[in-house]
Amino acid sequence: MADEGIFATTAEVQRKVGVGASSVSNTEAYINDYISQAESFINILTGHNWSDVYSTLNNDLKFILKEASSNLAAIYVLQYDTSGVTRQREVENRINILWRRFLQCCKLLTVKGVNKFLSTV
């Protein structure tokens, strides 16, 4: 199976997940699904279909989309089953950090000044 996401790859998500994640959810099949869901959510949340124009975007914008989608997909992997983590607080901290950065990225994707900058770079 190959990476099916537009914004991010399985490896990028797995790097953010860290150790102790479920061996079921931390697989390419699950992560491809999570990335697809994240990409759709980002498109709807920001009011712009980034997927359809991805190949035309500059690298700054692509990396924001990559970070947002890989962060959300990593949260999905982590929350699937936390029994492999020795301390629950570790998983909660990872999820909180990923969620905060996801929200920051989505905010950037909706700010007109940022969009203007990104479209001219």
pLDDT of the residue at 121: 46
pLDDT of the residue at 120: 55
- Tell me the C-alpha distance between 102 and 75, whole Å: 10
Helix (H) or strand (E) holding 115: helix 112-120
Phi and psi of 22, rounded to 5°?
Answer: -55, 135
Q: Average pLDDT, stretch 55-67? A: 94
> Which of 87, 69, 71, 77 has the alpha carbon at shortest distance from 28?
77
> Which of 78, 88, 68 has the alpha carbon at shortest distance from 22?
78
Does the structure show a pLDDT above 70 at 46? yes
Q: What percent of the chain has pLDDT over 70?
A: 91
Q: Average pLDDT, stretch 47-57? A: 94
